[in-house]
Structure 1
Amino acid sequence: PPAPAPTTAVETVPKPVEAKPAEIKPVEPAKTVEPPKTRELRVAIFSGAYRKAQERAILKPFESKSGLPLVILSSEMPREKLLEALKAEKPAWDVADVPLPIAEAACQKGLLVAIDPQKLAAASDGKSAKDDFIEGALTRCGVASVAWSSVVVFERPGARKPEPKKLEDVFDVAKFPGNRALPPGPHYVLEVALLADGVAPAEVYKQLGTEEGLARAFKKLDQIKDHIVWWDKQQGAFELLRAKRATFALAFNGRAFQESALSPRTLGVIYDGQVLRLNAWVVPKASQRIKEAQELVAFATEPARLAAQASEFPYGPTRRSAISLVGLHPALKTDMKPHLPTAPEYLAGALRFDTEFWAANEARLKERFLAWRSGG
């Protein structure tokens, strides 16, 4: 709870008996006493297995190193609430891990502390942080530390049958029969359709912004329309795969790893045509612990810290030098490098999800997509 507002104590001086007015000294109010500041650093992060990996690899080691107690809160909330929280005069957080588009929007509104790349750790070979981060990870007010993505999960066909290797295989019903489990809205589905049709990642959103490009996406989806089953929650995609009611599923790489790691003989993952999203560390300008918050951001984005986190959960480090440091999963003893969206072999053909495009075109494309789904 916020500390109570300080009160101003006023010293009163009794009037001397028969004293002349000139002899009475004016009374000065006592100076306002600031309440003692807590030493806690309030950190807002996401939930689930990602949170656990973050706590073990980054937050607990930082707490031990700095001696600063951390209070862990949640940054998992809708966009507008996130922006409100960052805008507060007395923010509930001193530092937060948020989607990169939120960081960019809050920065434009003047709500965040600017990032100085020179204060971020260099790579072990001496390369500066600025040169070590992947393109787009360092912004004016945010340091994107991890990337996650949409991927294709498939049921392994068995040793005697060919195994799918690329996104185009999802659209080849003759070679790979069975249903395709897809999310119910246009996000990711339209992008994947154009990528599978040969559109370069840099051109996907330009195409989706035109009638010709949108028609091209729907024409590609028509190839599998009779073989689509829709999932409402991501878990439903894996239930369909396990029940053999789908051959392929469009899902997200964190859950895809967890499911495929539990069933490596039956499930595989295709990173070709992945749609990439980033999470970034930010510091609210109104924080009372800006210096300490910046120290945490610098610590959290050291290559060794990012590698330790990725060794537990497969959100890809955004620093190139961190990839080679990623090791075995502590429980599964699985090499985590092949499961990272930012591995060089996957990153080259990846598409960055464009939040601004969807904000401007959501209503139109959702209407068209739902009409196509219903047979229009």
Structure 2
Amino acid sequence: MPARSLLAAVALLAAVFLAAPAAIASPNDLTIVSRDESLQRAMQSAYVQPFTAVTELPVQQQVWEGGIDALRTQAKSPSNDWTLLLVDPDELATGCGEGLFEKLDWSTIGGKDHYMPQAVSDCGLGAVIANLVLAWDRDKFPVTPSWSDFWDVAKYPGKRGLRKGVRGNLEIALLADGVAPGDVYKTLASSDGVDRAFRKLDQLKPYIVWWGLDAEAAHILASGDVLMTSAPSGQIATSGLAEHRNFGLQFAGSLYEVQSWAIMKGSPALRSAQQFLYFTGLPAIEVRLLHASGDSGLAKGVNDGLAPELLAMAPGNPANLSGALRSDAGFWHDNLGKLRQRFDGWLQH
């Protein structure tokens, strides 16, 4: 069946399910809160527009910067209008444990078997696989680099881009130093392992161009300010397509985490949120997000039938995941504070 016909058929199927009236919510109460403006724009075109076209339910979108303290404050606010919230693994675990999120009724959103195992938890439905990769411009650097090459400024002269923060950079430094992916967090569990990661960062420090927002990573690569950079895979993929640039993505040794949808506890728009999750979990709908943002959803079958060039850039492609390291949310929950303090001090010297 052609892709357009398939999408129409799936949308029709969704419409049958979504035609059921909301049991509790006013449609105007459905507010979706995502992580950044670029993802918000992608979700607007990939998810919100087709959802409202099928259901005639209006959706409001907001952006938040993340953080459990911000989540707690919002949950206590008498004017809290958040319904669906995109959260990282630590926010999901903490918020679920503190009762800030609804426990999901999986029967209303397609069932657990509809999704990859990484997508399923008590309070969260996996929304996107966010992957931090090594990115480079193939026209300027024709080989496929590793993190070891990233550190080798003698062999491959030029600046390097890294996200300005401790999380992710310690893992990358250890991978560049020869630590096997499966041993990265075992190594970081000791003070000697942390020292090893910082010593490796010392070697590269004079050559680093720091970036903060996702778009900055694509900018410093496109401008030639850096030869290579760590970067969100989706940002580089979509920037490359939009600007007709020959950017490469190295998924071997990349770091990924699953960002999940969570429903705010007590939201009057619970039924509308369930409808939205059911609709956007359909593979033919989820693939729209890959086209719009370069980010993968977690419904089973979302990679089926993708064109080879699209499959190659999909973070959820099993071939790409097989060489990636999943960020350890538990480790960072326990250690982020002290390691961030050390990293900030390291930056100043």
TM-score under structure 2 length normalisation:
0.80
Cross-structure match for 2:5: none
Task: Tell me whether 1:62 sits opposite 2:51 in the alignment.
Answer: yes
Which of the residues 123, 141, 144 maps onto 1:141? 123
Listed one character per residue, the Cα deviations across residues 289-340 of structure 1 (whole Å, up to 9, x for unaligned) are 322322222222222221122122211112241112556xxxxxx9432222
Larger RCO, structure (CA 8 Å, separation 6 or more): 2
Mark the CA change 1:374 to 1:80 in structure 2 (over 3 Å): closer, same or farther.
Answer: closer
Which of the residues 26, 40, 45 maps onto 2:33? 45
Quote how far apart the aligned CAs of 1:216 are.
2.5
Which of the residues 324, 328, 333 maps onto 2:304? 324
Listed one character per residue, the Cα deviations across residues 50-80 of structure 1 (whole Å, up to 9, x for unaligned) are 2233223322322233333333334445432
The answer (yes or no) to whether the contact 1:303–1:321 under 8 Å persists in 2 is yes
Mark the CA change 1:230 to 1:174 in structure 2 (over 3 Å): closer, same or farther.
Answer: same
Task: Tell me whether 1:340 sits opposite 2:314 in the alignment.
Answer: yes
**Counterparts of residues 1-376 of structure 1 (less than 5 Å):** 38-46=26-34, 47-88=36-77, 91-121=80-110, 129-156=111-138, 158=140, 162-326=142-306, 335-373=309-347
Cross-structure match for 1:20: none
The answer (yes or no) to whether the contact 2:235–2:293 under 8 Å persists in 1 is no
Taking only the aligned residue pairs, the percentage that are identical comes to 28
SS in 1 for 2:301: helix
- CA-atom RMSD, angstroms? 2.9
Distance in 1, matches of 2:99 and 2:344, equals 38
SS in 2 for 1:69: coil
The amino acid across from 1:142 in the alignment is G
Mark the CA change 1:211 to 1:335 in structure 2 (over 3 Å): closer, same or farther.
Answer: same
The answer (yes or no) to whether the contact 1:103–1:282 under 8 Å persists in 2 is yes
The answer (yes or no) to whether the contact 1:304–1:325 under 8 Å persists in 2 is no
Runs of 4+ displaced beyond 6 Å? none
Distance in 1, matches of 2:45 and 2:347, equals 44
The amino acid across from 1:136 in the alignment is Q
Quote how far apart the aligned CAs of 1:40 are.
2.2
SS in 2 for 1:254: helix
> By percentage of residues, which structure has more helix?
2
The answer (yes or no) to whether the contact 2:290–2:297 under 8 Å persists in 1 is yes
The answer (yes or no) to whether the contact 1:308–1:326 under 8 Å persists in 2 is no
Mark the CA change 1:264 to 1:223 in structure 2 (over 3 Å): closer, same or farther.
Answer: farther
Quote how far apart the aligned CAs of 1:143 are.
0.3
Mark the CA change 1:241 to 1:50 in structure 2 (over 3 Å): closer, same or farther.
Answer: closer
Quote how far apart the aligned CAs of 1:249 are.
1.2
Which protein has the larger Cα radius of gyration, Structure 1 or Structure 2? 1
Q: Which moved more, 1:176-185 or 1:362-371?
A: 362-371
Gaps of 5+ in 2: 1-23
Distance in 2, matches of 1:39 and 1:320, equals 29
TM-score under structure 1 length normalisation:
0.75
Listed one character per residue, the Cα deviations across residues 32-65 of structure 1 (whole Å, up to 9, x for unaligned) are xxxx974424222324332233223322322233
Mark the CA change 1:192 to 1:293 in structure 2 (over 3 Å): closer, same or farther.
Answer: same
Gaps of 5+ in 1: 1-35, 122-128, 328-333
